[in-house]
Chains A and B, each alone.
Chain A
Amino acid sequence: MSLAPPVPVTTNPAKDAALRHLGQWGVFLALAALVLFGWGRYENFLDPFNVMSVLRYNGMFALVALGMAFVIMTGGIDLSVGSTAALASVASALASAHGVVAGLGAGLAAGLLVGTVNAVVIVRLRVLPFIATLATMLAASGCALLLAGNQSVSVSYETGFTELGQGDLLGVPVPAWIAAAAYLAGSVVLNLTALGRTVLAVGGNEDAARLMGLPVDRAKALVYLASGGLAGLAGVILAAQFGAGQPIEGVGWELFAIAAVVVGGTLLTGGVGSVGTTLAGVLLLGLIFNILNFENGLGWISLSAYWQSVVRGVFLLVVVILQSRLAGRAEEA
């Protein structure tokens, strides 16, 4: 969305870069602080069981946030990821009787299908990403309900499909492996390929990127495709983890993903972003829930799960204010 405040004009690139690095490293510092806090305060916080369950549960959110990060780097937004994941979970649950590959393929295909529609509507028909993906969000949700017949669809337990969500590989949950692979690939694409540079150039200044002869339309189409595909993968994990394709899951995922991306220091105006900090943002928001659980377990206070969203909101507030302060100081420098 082009709802951006004016881009800060700087006269000191070195200081600007330093401040931006502080903004990007800040999320790692906050994550480390939160982990240290939990380690010091709760007995079993760093037990393998707790660490692995946090990783298992946040794998699908991490995938969705990765796609969102790329979309946001081009200056766009993808509101459809939540219902795309729901649609993919239904598709993969229906296909899971034919094996792991069929289930995985069906979910991925459903995600790529929504991504393709987004890409065509945004790139060819020139509809604003916010509205285009708002529409596909409704459409994907409707398709998920139609495909599932308005109810949860049980996955097949005979083909080993549930291993994709519940299984372990070398002691680490499969969803965490999938997310790690996706983030590795995302990092390589962003930092080492022409496509990654083009994505950032498009977000920085689309007109300038076009005039430089960069393949702007291709880069934009690819990020929406990637976002759809990753949401599809998240849907597969969702179905495998909970044993059912869930047509009404995924509500609010898009905004959680946006929050994680913002906490990770990626500017919503596009042009700046990093893959690693997005992962840190996801883990940070996920850990808040985990720490609330431990805090309740201590018995000093009894915070309901509802506090989770309050705390997350306050957290987001602090982060965006700090970011704006950093940007402001870069402006004065």
Chain B
Amino acid sequence: MTESLAAPAPAGSRRPGWGHRLAPHGALLALVLLILFNAAFTPNFLTWQTLNVNLTQVCATVIVGVGMTLVIATAGIDLSVGSLMAIAGALAPLIFLGHLVPGLSGPPAIVLAFVVPVAVTAALGWFNGWLITRFRIQPIVATLVLFIAGRGIAQVMTNGNLQVFNTPGFQWIALERVAGIPVQAILMAVVVVVAAWALRRTLFGRRVLAVGGNETAARLAGVPVVRVKRGVYALSGALAGVAGLIVVARNSAADANLVGLGVELDAIAAAAVGGTLLTGGRASVVGTLWGALLIQLVRYTLLANGVPDAAALVVKAGIILAAVVLQVRRAP
């Protein structure tokens, strides 16, 4: 499942043991074990409702996490995603409630409420990539700019007020179900599948990994490094925008102070647990999905069995560390 451009281990090297063979699927294995545990011990676990609750809780993290995985694959990082979610979440209601353009309403307003916020966050993501490539600013610092300013922009746009709404035409993205499955979960699955395919099978995906593996070599090999980097940050911004829309649609309210708060760290944690190397060059989109589901299900399991949320945080920290330590051991 893990995509990398690294050469296979030379023949004659020590035969990998079971642990080594299982390690790439560690997050998935842990997830399966946890599901089995819950099926045995947590009452009412194997129901549609449990599945839907967990899927909707994890949806925004996974969608943001996919973009984050691609960014990390280029040896970058994007701290601005939470703030971009807040911007998208603040913009959409402003548009369909007619506060931004007076008199705009009905289906055109709804369409614009989907298109404009995502376009704006994609442009802001591209701006991140531009800072990084044009001025050679490290990704962590460059995206820190919008992390700090972005939420401020969203708060200024709404004056820090809660925007409450009841607009089914917009909220179907979070509340509607198809064959019993929430639309947002379907959207999440589509994003994961397309990104996993793109990373594995397309030129763009190969280039992303090449840039992360060895940027100088990639440049010498004719990879358009600048374009690839700006592309992944724009994509990360666009996906953050989508996640922001889903969150405000689900809550029937947009709160610029809270939408997307801390999601950047959840997304990074999911990617790390899923086997993506933070130093770039090795990434797994599907792994990020398993990582996010694992972290979510651990929290659910603890809560369902009466462990307080605060203790769940400590356990989450333990899982992240354990996953990464296992990866370090596996690395040559």
- Binary interface encoding of chain A residues 3-43 relative to chain B, with 1 for a CB under 8 A from any of its CBs, else 0: 11110000000000000000000000000000000000000
| Per-residue interface assignment for chain A, residues 313 to 333, with 1 indicating a CB less than 8 Å from any chain B CB and 0 otherwise | 110110011001101100000
A residues less than 8 Å from B268 (CB atoms) = 130-131, 134
CB distance from B160 to the nearest CB of A (A): 6
Whether B324 contacts A309 by the Cβ 8 Å rule is no
Stretch at the interface among B8-16, B109-117, B130-138, B283-291: B130-138
Q: Are A128 and B324 in contact (CB under 8 A)?
A: yes
Question: Closest Cβ of chain B: how far from A317's Cβ, in Å?
Answer: 5
With A3-B75, A310-B156: A134-B150 Cβ-Cβ less than 8 Å: no
| Closest A residue by C-beta to B151 | A309
B136 A5 Cβ-Cβ under 8 A: yes
- Which residues in A have their C-beta under 8 angstroms from that of B279? 2-3, 128
- Tell me which of B131, B138, B280, B318 contacts A268 (CB under 8 A): B138
Q: Which of A132, A255, A325 interacts with B148 by CB under 8 Å?
A: A255
Partner of A142, one of B77, B269, B314: B314
Contact between chains at A135 and B317 (CB < 8 Å): yes
Contacts of B278 in A (CB 8 A): 1, 128, 130-131
Decide: A134 and B135 in contact? CB cutoff 8 A.
Answer: no
Partner of A138, one of B77, B140, B150, B317: B317
Q: How far is the CB of B291 from chain A (nearest CB, A)?
A: 12
B148 touches A138 (CB 8 A): no
Check: B217 CB closer than 8 A to any chain A CB: no
A188 proximal to B (CB < 8 A): no
Q: Confirm or deny: B328 has a beta carbon within 8 angstroms of a beta carbon on chain A.
A: yes
Which of A119-127, A173-181, A271-279 sits within the interface? Answer: A119-127
Which residues from A are CB-within-8-Å of B156?
304, 306-307, 310
A139 touches B144 (CB 8 A): no
CB distance from A311 to the nearest CB of B (A): 8
Interface residues on A, range: 35 or more
- Out of A3, A6, A136, A307, name the residue touching B77 (CB < 8 Å): A3
CA distance A255 to B321 in the complex (A): 21
Tell whether, in the assembled complex, residue A255 and residue B144 are in contact, meaning their CB atoms are under 8 Å apart: yes
- Taking CB atoms, residues of chain A closer than 8 Å to B316 are 138, 142
Q: Is chain A's binding surface mostly helix, strand, loop or mixed? A: helix
Q: Do A255 and B272 touch across chains, with their CB atoms under 8 A apart?
A: no
Whether B320 lies near A3 (C-beta < 8 A) is no
In the assembled complex, the Cα of A5 lies from the Cα of B144 at a distance in Å of: 17
Please give, as numbers and ranges, the residues of chain B lying within 8 Å of A143 by CB-CB distance.
310, 314
Q: Which residues of A contact B153 (CB under 8 A)?
A: 310
Contact with B along A199-217 (1 / 0, CB 8 A): 0000000000000000000
**Min distance, Cβ A130 to any Cβ of chain B, angstroms:** 6
For the complex, is B308 an interface residue (Cβ under 8 Å from A)? yes
Q: Which of A5, A128, A309, A328 gathers most chain B CB within 10 Å?
A: A309
The answer to whether A131 and B320 touch across the interface, beta carbons within 8 angstroms, is yes
Cβ-based interface call for A166 (8 A) = no
CA distance A312 to B151 in the complex (A): 12
B150–A306 CB distance below 8 A: no
C-alpha spacing A309/B257, complex, angstroms: 12
Interchain CA distance A313-B145 in the complex, whole Å: 5
Rounded to whole Å, the gap between the CB of A330 and the closest CB of chain B is: 12
Chain A residues closer than 8 Å to B317, beta-carbon distance? 135-139, 142
Are A142 and B135 in contact, CB atoms less than 8 angstroms apart? no
Hey, which chain A residues are within 8 Å of B140, CB to CB? 1, 3, 77, 258, 268
When the two chains form their complex, are residues B321 and A132 in contact, meaning their CB atoms are under 8 A apart? yes
Roughly how many angstroms separate A144 CA and B311 CA in the complex, as a whole number?
Answer: 10
Cβ–Cβ contact B135 & A320, under 8 A: yes
Instruction: Assess whether A127 is in contact with B136, with CB atoms less than 8 Å apart.
Output: no
Q: Is the CB of B152 within 8 A of A320?
A: no
- Could you give, for residues 180-210 of chain B, a 1 whenever the CB lies within 8 Å of some chain A CB and a 0 otherwise? 0000000000000000000000000000000
Residues of A participating in the B interface, judged by any CB pair closer than 8 Å: 1-6, 77, 79, 121, 125-128, 130-132, 134-139, 141-146, 150, 251, 255-256, 258-259, 262, 268-269, 304, 306-314, 316-317, 320-321, 324-325, 327-328
List 10 additional contacts besides A138-B320, A139-B317; criterion CB under 8 Å: A4-B138, A142-B312, A145-B308, A145-B310, A145-B313, A258-B141, A304-B156, A317-B149, A320-B142, A324-B136
Q: Which residues of B are in contact with A by a Cβ distance under 8 Å?
A: 75-77, 79, 131, 135-142, 144-153, 155-156, 159-160, 216, 261-262, 265, 268-269, 272, 278-280, 308-314, 316-318, 320-321, 324-325, 328
